[in-house]
């Protein structure tokens, strides 16, 4: 126990040093600063130091060491900056780049970019061929490809929008990576993501929603909607997204049942070195001594690379599975994959063996007790239930955690209500850029969505039998028939009878080629083109009606008239809005009625 005089002296030191400590932690995110202050106080009042001055010195040196650590990982990025401060930093970056250009008026853009290389590197921006670029940074595109030149690269650097995106992403990923290493992301602290990242994600969604509500899209007929209303009618709406996913999964099941294919539910997990923490049960976790310091994005890249090898091996064996891949996080943020795949009965065993082999190749010494920690496979018994019913909970808990009737699906594997956990899952996918759902082995869903547009556009003549039949299947929400019309599963994009019709020659704000814009669909055999996006849409700000340049085409809304729809009120009944504005009918899939949740159309 400290001597009363020592205790009094150290309390005085705590008061005297508070201003210094606060200043040192000014650039440290709040969630870390709180822990650092706690450790500072613990060292200051520790009985391990015989002399009071040694305790004070050790405590202050610890704070300075942590401050330097965050400066090192952040570079010129202020990891504790608010979004307003990041926007200000973006303006300052533009001003600096413009000042360099003014100082060297006669210099060409290539030389200016070379001059700015160090400045960019400090702010997490690297050239395309920079081998020292860290994972997750912003890479400038390669010149001489798709219209990219040194001039267009320089135009990026004088664009505040570019810098805001760079700074927001850079700060978010660096802070979250450090949070994982410091133990702020696990079942005991912050599930899937840290609380700081969750707060940033919520603020980001609020900003986006406010922007969508303040923008109005109108076409040449006078139809007018806020972008928030249009967003609610698209797959950005969680109800629509869930319904479309379940409709497609049910369609896969219908195909598999008709062909008497096997249904396999596979789970692939990363090796132990990608996991920062281990679960001990009852909410207890311990640090994993094998953890290599990787981020969830690096773990996702590991799984993607392994799956690329698996696909190549399946192709060599003549095995063409079809189905869905779902990526979701472990409690510590490390991703794992669930795959619902269908394949002929005679190929199922070989496919399982290939997945097992590649999933367990690395660090096999960890698997002395079996392959379970790295790979699992369940063959779905059609007599006991449906594949759609089996996978429905994995779809729901990674979207909004709710059933189709809006109720929570319960408590998840980590002991948290799924509706609460789903928000953290979405924040996790957002900050690390993880694609949560991806279908395998069939035509792209973009064709399905464009054909549904065509089906709701009255008066359009479809001069192609295959487009007509595919549009009818899509409008009816029959994914199985849609795939059948397009030739079945296992086809390459070049072999599909229907392709997207695109507008080429478009450029972005920097003058670079941005590829294409979808206009409709084309019959690959006879070249018949059917336009799916029949209106030109312009976007303007609602408050002052200040006109903006035309944006891209958005959702095809043709029935309401200017001023006929409440502009900012959210839709009360999504299904009735679809029918009124889109001719857009909810779709039910009979194949998933046997499962725990009823599904609908897109």
Provide the annotated active-site residues.
Answer: 390, 394
Based on its alpha-carbon atoms, the radius of gyration of the chain, rounded to whole angstroms, reads 28
Q: What is the distance between the alpha carbons of residues 576 and 248, in angstroms, rounded to a whole number?
A: 22
The pair of structure tokens assigned to 532 is 């799916």
What is the per-residue DSSP string for 249-264? HHHHHHHHHHHT-EEE
How far is the C-alpha of 123 from the C-alpha of 529, rounded, in Å? 47
- The tokens describing 333, both together, are 């943020």
Burial-class residue 398 by CB neighbours within 10 Å (0-12, 13-18, 19+). Answer: buried
Pairing type for strands 538-541 and 215-218 reads antiparallel
DSSP letter for 273, please.
G
Per the CB < 8 A criterion, the answer to whether 523 and 467 are in contact is yes
Angle between helices 4-24 and 52-74 (to 10 degrees): 20
Q: What distance in Å separates the CA atoms of residue 251 and residue 439, rounded to the nearest whole number?
A: 12
First to last CA, the chain: 68
Residue that has been written with the tokens 């209303």 in this structure: 229
- Rounded CA-CA distance 271/358 in Å is 12
Q: What CA–CA distance (Å, rounded) separates 357 from 492? A: 26
Of 398, 335, 297, 331, the closest CA to residue 192 belongs to 331
Three-state SS across 413-469?
CCCCEHHHHHHHHHHHHHHHCCCCEEEECCCCHHHHHHHHHHHHCCCCCCCCHHHHH
With a CB cutoff of 8 Å and minimum separation 6, the contacts of 55 are 10, 43, 44, 45, 46, 49
d(CA 256, CA 588): 19
Using CA atoms, how far residue 427 sits from 139, 199, 399, 545, in Å, is 23, 9, 11, 33
């Amino acid at each position: 126990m400290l001597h009363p005089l020592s205790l009094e002296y150290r309390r005085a030191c705590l008061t005297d040093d508070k201003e210094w400590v606060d200043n040192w932690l000014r650039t440290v995110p709040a969630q870390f600063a709180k822990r650092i202050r706690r450790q500072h106080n613990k060292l200051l009042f520790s009985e391990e130091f015989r002399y009071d001055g040694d305790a004070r010195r050790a405590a202050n040196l610890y704070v300075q060491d942590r401050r330097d650590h965050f400066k090192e990982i952040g570079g010129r990025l202020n990891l504790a900056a608010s979004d307003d401060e990041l926007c200000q930093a973006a303006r300052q970056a533009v001003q600096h780049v413009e000042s360099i250009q003014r100082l060297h008026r006669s210099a060409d853009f290539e030389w200016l970019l070379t001059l700015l290389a160090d400045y960019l590197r400090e702010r997490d921006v690297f050239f395309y061929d920079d081998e020292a670029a860290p994972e997750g940074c912003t890479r400038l595109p390669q010149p001489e490809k798709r219209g990219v030149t040194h001039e267009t690269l320089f135009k990026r650097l004088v664009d505040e929008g570019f810098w805001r995106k760079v700074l927001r992403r850079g700060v978010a990923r660096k802070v979250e990576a450090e949070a994982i290493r410091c133990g702020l992301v696990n079942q005991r602290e912050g599930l899937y993501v840290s609380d700081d990242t969750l707060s940033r994600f919520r603020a980001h969604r609020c900003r986006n929603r406010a922007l969508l509500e303040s923008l109005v899209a109108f076409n040449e007929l006078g139809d007018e909607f806020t972008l928030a209303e249009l967003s609610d009618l698209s797959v950005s709406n969680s109800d629509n997204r869930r319904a479309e996913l379940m409709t497609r999964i049910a369609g896969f099941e219908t195909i598999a049942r008709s062909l008497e294919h096997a249904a396999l539910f596979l789970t692939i997990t990363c090796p132990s070195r990608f996991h920062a923490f281990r679960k001990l049960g009852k909410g207890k976790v311990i640090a994993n001594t094998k953890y290599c310091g990787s981020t969830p994005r690096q773990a996702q890249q590991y799984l993607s690379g392994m799956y690329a090898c698996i696909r190549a091996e399946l192709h060599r064996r003549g095995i063409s599975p079809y189905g869905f891949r779902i990526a979701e996080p472990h409690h510590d943020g490390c991703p794992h994959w669930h795959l619902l795949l269908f394949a002929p009965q005679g190929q199922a065993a070989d496919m399982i063996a290939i997945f097992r082999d590649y999933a367990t190749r690395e660090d096999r010494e960890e698997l002395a007790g079996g392959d379970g920690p790295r790979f699992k496979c369940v063959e779905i018994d059609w007599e006991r239930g449906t594949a759609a019913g089996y996978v429905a909970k994995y779809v729901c808990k990674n979207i909004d955690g709710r059933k189709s009737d809006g109720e929570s699906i319960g408590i998840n594997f980590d002991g948290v209500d799924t509706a609460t956990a789903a928000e953290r899952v979405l924040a996790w996918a957002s900050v690390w850029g993880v694609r949560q759902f991806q279908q395998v082995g069939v035509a792209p869903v973009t064709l399905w969505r464009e054909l549904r547009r065509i089906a709701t556009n009255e008066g359009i003549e479809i001069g192609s039998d295959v487009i007509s039949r595919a549009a009818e299947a899509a409008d009816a929400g029959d994914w199985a028939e849609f795939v059948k019309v397009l030739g079945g599963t296992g086809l390459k994009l070049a072999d599909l009878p229907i392709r997207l019709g695109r507008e080429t020659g478009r450029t972005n704000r920097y003058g670079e080629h941005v590829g294409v814009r979808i206009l409709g669909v084309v019959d690959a055999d006879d070249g018949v083109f059917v336009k799916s996006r029949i209106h030109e849409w312009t976007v303007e700000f609602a408050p002052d009606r200040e006109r903006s340049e035309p944006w891209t085409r958005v959702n095809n809304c043709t029935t309401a008239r200017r001023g006929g729809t409440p502009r900012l009120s959210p839709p009360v009944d999504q299904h009735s809005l679809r029918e009124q504005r889109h001719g857009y009918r909810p779709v039910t899939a009979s194949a998933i009625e046997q499962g725990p949740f009823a599904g609908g159309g897109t």
